[in-house]
Amino acid sequence: MIMRETCIGLALLLLLAKSAGAAEDAVTAAARKNFGEYLELLAIENIPDRPEDMRRNAAVLERAFQKRGFSSRMLQNPAGRPLVFAQLDAAVPGARTILFYIHFDGQPVIPEEWAQKSPFQPLVKKRDLDGRWREVSREQLLTKELDPELRVFARSASDDKAPILMFLTAMDALAAERKAPSVRIKVILDSEEEISSPSLPGVIAGGGRLFEADALVILDGPLHASGRPTLVFGNRGLTQATLTVHGPKSPLHSGHFGNYAPNPAMRRASLLASMKGDDGRILIPGYYDGVKLTAEDHTVLANTSDDEVALLKRVGIARPEKVAGSYQEALQYPSLNVRGMASGAVGPKAANIVPAEAVAELDLRTTPETDGRRLIELIRRHLEGQGYHLVEGAPTDADRARYDKLATLKQGPVQAAARMPMDSSVGRWAVAALKAVAPDAAGEPVRIRMMGGTVPTDVLVDALRLPFVLVPTVNPDNNQHSHDENLRIGNFVSGARTIRSLLTTPFGE
């Protein structure tokens, strides 16, 4: 009896191995076939400032989903940057519905910073023995022996056009295998994620029952540094603000007025320094209030098993800020970041002047416990405590005569943070799907309590009341939001396999 059960077990293992191999072959073949489509999509500029480019992207994506049997359509918004919605019913009666969110817009580019002619002329590169990236022919992507270490360099190569093509590749693999998804599929492709998705609330509100689903999956973000399958159960929010420190009414000759007219750039530097200590901790009273990590939270954070030494080496710093005891723990607290500064001109165009104003652009990454609007108010109080009188816009002559220190703090877009319990229904389903596609020695994917980046979960979750999970697929060293953004080809294939497993794993309690 034991021998018979053993034989049955071995036969089952062989059958599963054969099925897994066939799935991998189908995904790899579909990926190779779709690399050209991926490169063509990357060649379409996708900065939201140009609505005509976003319309071109939307039209191409609408056709791409229709080609795979989806019913799809554009969802218009006042800015002229349409979103794309696609839907495909499962062959299994009564299957649950999963809404997938992906975005196709990209961050602004500074072309001269890129190691190629244009960020929108994608190049295939391989790292040589001296560590430098060298261009290779596109044909190498199509070879039978796929090189997973090749990379595609272009804006949105990873963030976030890659997951769109991974999704389509997973669908093509299922078609080649003559298999149907185990869930009903809805997809929303956002055209404005990188500018805080201003049109998404209106699109969702006007969609009626269009977006009804049982769970939400957000395909965005990088894998854990180990490269293991990764699930993320929350994301920090984002609040932007502009701080302007006012100086003289107009720029002044630095020889004639240096040592007489206060320089707003120097005052701005002092003001920013007053907000944050040398150890990186924010000094504004009450900024961290509400964030309390339990012993269980600390265990979850430690279980991500980050290699802190390797992380410091990759980032290129000697030591981290002392906000918390580890990288993952630091992401559970709100941040205060200076994302840009301006004062007069810089570089060869700099002039010998005392500038009229000095500007600092801020971004605050928030947590569910620390609302961005409250943090802005704390910053306002801090500015006043430093002796500044806050004005709206340019100071009047009366303001200038009365107050020594003048500044303006203008709040920008606000996106709230969101977090789901790891034992939620969508969490259990996603864990099962990732374990099926690429089980590691422990049989568990990396589970991240909350990632540092921001996606519009606040709009989707608040409006639709859906449990959600984020499924990252791209390589962690992809340079997203910066120059030389890239995607590792091995991640294109593994990402498509991950999505295929999500599509074929039944969702239920």
74-105 pLDDT tens trace: 999 999 999 999 999 877 888 999 999 999 99
State residue 321's pLDDT score. 97
| Under 8 Å between Cβ of 188 and 216 | no
Report which of 456, 364, 348, 467 is spatially closest to residue 409, judged by C-alpha positions: 364
Name the CATH topology of 237-291+333-415. Answer: Alpha-Beta Plaits (3.30.70)
DSSP per-residue string spanning 123-168: EEEEE-TTS-EEEE-GGGGGSSS--TT-EEESTTTTTTHHHHHHHH
State residue 14's pLDDT score. 35
Name, in order, each residue with C-beta under 8 angstroms of 272's C-beta and a sequence gap of 6 or more.
243, 338, 360
Helix, strand, or coil here: 46? coil
State residue 262's pLDDT score. 97
| Under 8 Å between Cβ of 355 and 247 | yes
Q: Could you give the CA distance from residue 122 to residue 128 in angstroms, rounded to a whole number?
A: 19
Structure tokens at 198: 């201003």
Q: Pairing mode, if any, of strands 446-448 and 337-342?
A: unpaired
Q: pLDDT of 472-500, one tens digit each?
A: 999 999 999 999 999 999 999 999 999 99
φ, ψ (nearest 5 deg) of residue 475: -65, 140
Report which of 163, 180, 161, 160 is spatially closest to residue 69, judged by C-alpha positions: 180
**Which secondary-structure segment (H or E) carries 235?**
strand 234-235
State the DSSP code for 193: G
Tracing tokens 């519009």 back to the chain, one arrives at 456
| Under 8 Å between Cβ of 478 and 158 | yes
Name, in order, each residue with C-beta under 8 angstroms of 346's C-beta and a sequence gap of 6 or more.
none
Cα 287 to the center of its chain, rounded Å: 24
Angle at 268 between CA 265 and CA 270, to 5 degrees: 115
State residue 509's pLDDT score. 56
| Under 8 Å between Cβ of 317 and 226 | no
State residue 441's pLDDT score. 44
| Under 8 Å between Cβ of 84 and 189 | yes
What residue ranges do the domains of the chain occupy?
2-235+418-504, 237-291+333-415
| Under 8 Å between Cβ of 159 and 17 | no
Give, for all 509 residues of the chain, the pLDDT tens digit: 333 333 333 333 333 334 444 445 899 999 999 999 999 999 999 999 999 999 999 999 999 999 999 999 999 999 999 999 999 987 788 899 999 999 999 999 999 999 999 999 999 999 999 989 999 999 888 887 889 999 999 999 999 999 999 999 999 999 999 999 999 999 999 999 999 899 999 999 999 899 999 999 999 999 998 888 999 999 999 999 999 999 999 999 999 999 999 999 999 999 999 999 999 999 999 999 999 999 999 999 999 999 999 999 989 999 999 999 999 999 999 999 999 999 987 777 889 999 999 999 999 999 999 999 999 999 999 999 999 999 999 999 999 999 999 999 999 989 999 999 999 999 999 999 999 986 554 468 999 999 998 888 888 888 888 999 999 999 999 999 999 999 999 999 999 999 999 999 999 85
Which residue type occupies 22?
A: A
State residue 3's pLDDT score. 36
State residue 183's pLDDT score. 96
State residue 150's pLDDT score. 96
φ, ψ (nearest 5 deg) of residue 201: -60, -40
Name, in order, each residue with C-beta under 8 angstroms of 472's C-beta and a sequence gap of 6 or more.
220, 221, 222, 223, 224, 230, 232, 451
State residue 345's pLDDT score. 77
CATH for the 2-235+418-504 domain, from 2.40.50.140, 3.40.50.300, 3.40.50.20, 3.40.630.10: 3.40.630.10
What is the pLDDT of the chain when averaged over all its residues? 92
User: Which ranges in 43-122 belong to alpha helices (H)?
Assistant: 51-67
